[in-house]
Structure 1
Amino acid sequence: MEILNPKLQVLTNQEVMQALRQIKDQKNSHSTRNLATITYETIQYLENTPCKDQTQENIENFIVEAQKFGRLTKSEVLTMINDPPALPLHIQLIVEDSEERLTETQVDELIELSKKYLHPNSTNTG
């Protein structure tokens, strides 16, 4: 993964974790103690979120399949990647005016896509 322009790039939590692990692995002598602390603490936090099990391929597959809903904004899709929805209420919190923009079937489909691609190690009891 390469961040071309960090001021303009929107990253998923999984991409942030990858970038921070690369920084940590480089152990550059120019790194400050503060950077090392921030890197360590952020990685520790992210390892307790769904992104720890996500892959770039699964994220890309989710994005492709979520495009069929056409009405989702990029920020809504990014939020779903970073905080995968598991319940219809979660979709309502992520998608503005979801009741008007998505049918119940589409909400269920989004939850199934989330389980399939963004929670790859969860058991599907659905």
Structure 2
Amino acid sequence: MEIVNSNSASLSNYEVLKHLQKIKESKIKHGGQLATITYETLHYLEEAQCKNQTAESIAACIKDLEPFNLNKSEKLMLVNTPPTTALEIQLMIEESEDRLTEEQVQQILNILVQHFPHIAPAKQDDNQEEEEEEENSD
């Protein structure tokens, strides 16, 4: 295998999907393990959330996430597997409890839903809904 460009960068699932689709359409035949890896990866990504993303939606999402001082890998995780709950954000963003307020976490979730409408925000559990109803009735 030949190294075309020695610069390294992290690619989003969307970028990998588009690249593999180009390879598939180009009719260039790769033999053996490379063909299997390409096929399996393409099959996986065609069923993943990235199939509904666009380059524009990803770029706009990354731009809207700038005020939160997230590093590149955190942004990449948010794009590749958009979280739907605060708990998922805690798992993706290092020391999120110290770096983000609850309001900021909710803003991040809203940004992700805005740019990736195919993700459905998780419903709150019944106890939390009851507490909010009680607060609203007071």
Normalised to the residue count of structure 2, the TM-score between the two structures is 0.79
Pair 56,11 (structure 1): closer, same or farther in 2 beyond 3 Å: same
How far, CA to CA, are the matches of 1:19 and 1:123 in structure 2? 27
Equivalent-residue separation in structure 1 for 2:58 and 2:95 (angstroms):
24
Aligned to 1:26: 26
Kept in 2, the 8 Å contact 1:61–1:117? The answer is: yes
**2 CA distance for matches of 1:96 and 1:121?**
26
Bigger radius of gyration: 2
Structure 1, unpaired ranges of 5+: none
Instruction: Please state whether the residue corresponding to 1:47 is helix, strand or coil.
Output: helix
The answer as to 2:98 corresponding to 1:100 is yes
Count of matched residue positions in the alignment of Structure 1 and Structure 2: 120
Q: How many angstroms does 1:36 deviate by?
A: 2.3
Aligned residues: CA RMSD: 1.9
Corresponding residue number in structure 1 for 2:80:
82
1:39 partner letter = T
Q: Percent identity?
A: 42
After the TM superposition, list the runs of 4 or more consecutive aligned residues in structure 1 that deviate by more than 3 angstroms: 122-126
Mapped to 2, the partners of 1:86 and 1:124 lie a distance apart of 5
The residue aligned with 2:45 is: 46
